[in-house]
Amino acid sequence: MKVPILIPNIFNHPFTYESNFKLNLGDYVEVPFGNTKATGVVWDDFEKEKNKNYKIKNVIKKFQVPSLSKNTISFLNWFSKYNMIPKGMALKLLLLSNKVVENLPKKDFHKFTKKNLINKVELNLHQKESLKEMNFTNKKFRVHVLQGVTGSGKTIVYFEAFKKILEKNYQGLILLPEIGLTSQFEKKFIDFFGFQPAIWHSKITKKNKEIIWSGVANNKIKTVIGARSSLFLPFKNLGLIIVDEEHDQSYKQDEGVIYNARDMAISRASFENIPINLVTAIPSVETFDNIKKGKYKHSNLQSRYQNASLPNYEIINLNKVKIKPQSWISDQIFDKVNLHLEKKDQVLFFLNRRGFSPYVLCKKCLKSFSCPNCSINLVYHKNKNLLLCHYCGYKSKLDRNCKDKAKCEFTFCGPGVERIFEEVKKKFPNKKISIFSSDSINKKNSAEILKKIVNNEIQILIGTQLISKGFHFPSLNCIVVVDIDLTSQGHDLRGTEKNLQLYHQLAGRAGRTGRPSTVYFQTYNLDKNMINNITNSDPNIFLEKELELRKHNNLPPFQRFISIILTGPDEKKIEKESVNFKNFIEKNIDSKVLGPVNSPIFRIKKKFRVRLLIRGKKSISIQNSLAAALPKFKFSSGIKLTVDVDPINFN
């Protein structure tokens, strides 16, 4: 019999094979492919015949793995079409290095075995009402948004919903936006449920990936907590998906296969016909719009757990308060921090910049250090004594001859967290101080550092936005935003929304156990609208205004954006090609094409980048017409095209 087999590669169609044994939809098989062998899956449609005369090869073997469900195959087909990637690349997201795992021993799954759930947590009235709204009692698709101020106990509410799904022997998936959240979240899960969940992200070992993949496929693992890629695991009996911090920009995969994991999770829940819950303190504008339109159900926890008070806000006007030379923090802030430390409060200095300084300049020749591969400055990391590019990973030592052949005399412009650390350490030499950023937190030390923070063994934290994402630090009652102006600049259409979510999340780390807490903002910019947006206890006021603004200007979520990026090593060639491409696209699709323009970061990894933006009606027809047109345009050698549907960043 002839069977269609999809190979995990850059093909948008299955290949036809002969099989001497019975195969069903979704079976995993091994087939000859070129001069090698490949793992494939029996797909739902044959390749369209093109009058090709070729010999049909035989399937080599069928793997002893439960077949991929029809629902998952339908989801992957839709995922491929929506995000404009080949079906084979969608399948590749589901397989382990293009392979499957057969017949692991039972002992490998023992630690993930679901125990009798005896934990009893008394929910308050508002939490009970939200739990009832989540409607987890049947296996029907529905999107519910659980909104609540930081510290209101949203996690406990969806844990209760999750428990009821597990009691019915379904599998459940909890998506988190950052790998760094998993260790503290895992402990919270074990404390509540009494057993260990399967943790899935890019940093876990190959052996653990094999165990979890097999356990999920065979319905032996019931709970997965993971980052974006966990969405593509081959669940056998999925009953519920939770997307925690649904607004977080980290759900967007910006490299390789580009997709938004939150939106794709909603789609997968739809194909599986199961409920999905989006959890957030401040919904994304798209989610808020769907709530208003009645597409998503919604419940809101408006007060903190056990009525803990929200933090107070205080603005430090840097136009009136002088900062000493080579300093970034005012004496007024240090006085206030000292009062908090005397009360045994933990303190956080927040600055969303890694390293020591973002710019290094010679005072004599006025040359700065820039990346030879990318059109950005190198960031000086004093702890490593290196200049680093945060885009391509280029490293350089702080060493250069000046115009007089003597050594350059360097000055460091602007602060990073390492520089703030030095300043704070000089002021509080006897306090335990630690930097909390992606440079300092890794898999090996994260659990230990988090334990010390929770136990208040670290009195002062210097952190980037990583610290704003869902952590619970009981003693943290003072947050200093070193320079709010750094994040309030730029031309990102989502910039204001991102800042609102960032600072509300950040403020939510403070005062979670009921003690008085304060967030201090240092700023030169006294724009009342910006400050009101950040400090307003009702973020929906901002979201309403933002929706009106987006509607008036035909911006998402009222229109669809598709970003097209052309990259290549020859600047003149790519600029000429982008103009030709725009002229071609405009004749082949019924949508507005903006650009071409040079990307804000024009060169990355020695490749120049030019962008076009397609805007049109919010339907998949724009992808269909673009997908039909693209194969007809022949790009010059060396030019690569990347398509980003529903872009979030425009770098």
In this structure, is residue 100 part of a structural domain?
no
- 239-256 mean pLDDT: 92
CATH number, domain at 426? 3.40.50.300
- Distance from the Cα of residue 289 to its chain's centroid: 21
Tell whether 286 and 312 lie within a shared domain: no
Q: List, for residues 305-325, the tens digit of each pLDDT value.
A: 666 677 888 888 888 888 888
Please indicate, yes or no, if residue 553 is contained in any of the structural domains.
Answer: no
The stretch 52-57 carries a mean pLDDT of: 77
Q: Decide if 101 is inside a domain.
A: no
**Residue 600: which CATH number?**
3.30.70.600
Q: What is the pLDDT of residue 307?
A: 65
Residue 51 has a pLDDT of: 54
- pLDDT the model gives residue 340: 93
Asked if residues 420 and 349 have their Cβ atoms less than 8 Å apart, the reply is yes
pLDDT of 267 above 70: yes
Task: Give the pLDDT confidence score for residue 100 in this predicted structure.
Answer: 93
- State whether 539 and 621 are in the same domain: no
pLDDT confidence band for 485 (50 / 70 / 90): low
Same domain, yes or no: 154 and 266: yes
Which of 272, 305, 338 terminates a domain? The answer is: 305
Please indicate, yes or no, whether residues 191 and 220 belong to a single structural domain of this protein.
Answer: yes
Q: Give the range among 231-235, 402-406, 566-570 with minimum mean pLDDT.
A: 402-406
Dihedral, 77, 78, 79, 80 alpha carbons, nearest 10? 50
Q: Mean of the pLDDT values across residues 249-272?
A: 95
- Other beta carbons within 10 angstroms of residue 370's beta carbon come to 15
Q: What pLDDT sits at residue 453?
A: 84
Per-residue model confidence (pLDDT) at position 182: 75
CA distance 613 to 632: 19
CA–CA distance, 401 with 389 (Å, rounded to integer)? 21
Which of 467-481, 482-496, 501-515 has the largest mean confidence? 467-481
Which of 76, 94, 112 is the endpoint of a domain?
94
Percent of the chain with pLDDT over 70: 92
Highest mean predicted confidence (pLDDT) among 140-144, 152-156, 455-459:
140-144
Q: Examine the domain organization and report whether 295 and 311 are in the same domain.
A: no
Higher-pLDDT residue of 434, 505: 434
Same domain, 53 and 74: yes
Q: In the structure encoding, which two tokens stand for residue 84, read together?
A: 């404009």
Q: Are 239 and 134 in contact (CB under 8 A)?
A: no
The pLDDT confidence band at residue 492, using thresholds 50, 70 and 90, is: low
State whether 171 and 199 are in the same domain: yes
Is residue 580 included in any domain, yes or no? yes
Q: How confident is the model at residue 262 (pLDDT cuts 50, 70, 90)?
A: very high
Contact at 8 Å (CB) between 331 and 423?
no
pTM, 2 dp = 0.91
> What is the rounded average pLDDT for all residues in the chain?
88
In a shared domain, residues 424 and 522: yes
- Based on the domain organization, do 71 and 158 belong to the same domain? no
Please tell me whether residues 376 and 497 are part of one structural domain: yes
Q: Please state the rounded mean pLDDT for residues 280-300.
A: 94
pLDDT at residue 33 greater than cutoff 80: yes
pLDDT of 486: 55
Q: Is residue 102 part of a domain?
A: no
pLDDT digits (tens, 9 = 90+) for 178-218: 877 677 788 889 888 888 999 999 888 999 999 999 999 99
* Number of domains the chain is built from: 4
Q: Please report which residue ranges of 389-483 form alpha helices under DSSP H.
A: 417-427, 446-454
Which of the four pLDDT bands, split at 50, 70 and 90, describes residue 346?
very high
pLDDT over 60 (residue 618): yes
Least confident among 27-36, 99-108, 307-316, 522-531? 522-531
pLDDT score at 60: 94
112 is a domain residue: no
Taking residues 108-136, report their average pLDDT: 79
In a domain, 110, yes or no: no
Average pLDDT over residues 111-119: 71
Q: For residue 249, what are the contacts with CB-CB under 8 A and spacing of at least 6?
A: 498, 648, 649
> Do 242 and 173 contact (CB within 8 A), yes or no?
yes
| Mean pLDDT value of segment 476-494 | 71
Q: Is the dihedral of CA 184, 187, 189, 191 positive or negative?
A: negative
Query: What is the model's pLDDT at position 47?
Result: 74
Lowest mean pLDDT among 15-24, 95-104, 387-396, 486-495: 486-495
Residue keyed to tokens 């156990």:
513
Q: Provide the pLDDT confidence category of residue 401 given band limits of 50, 70 and 90.
A: confident
**162 plus 205 within the same structural domain:** yes
Q: Which of 506, 522, 547 is the last residue of a domain?
A: 547
The predicted pLDDT at position 50 comes to 56
157 lies in some domain: yes
* Helix, strand, or coil (residue 268): helix
Q: What is the pLDDT of residue 105?
A: 87
Q: pLDDT band at residue 253, thresholds of 50, 70 and 90?
A: very high
Rg of the chain taking only CA atoms, in angstroms: 27
Mean per-residue pLDDT, 46-50 = 68
Selection from 331, 376, 319, 313 nearest residue 532 by Cα: 313
Question: Are 159 and 123 in contact, with CB atoms under 8 Å apart?
Answer: no
Q: Where in 323-378 does DSSP place strands (E)?
A: 346-350, 359-362
List the domain range (segments joined by +) for residue 632. Answer: 560-645
Residues 447 and 505 in one domain: yes
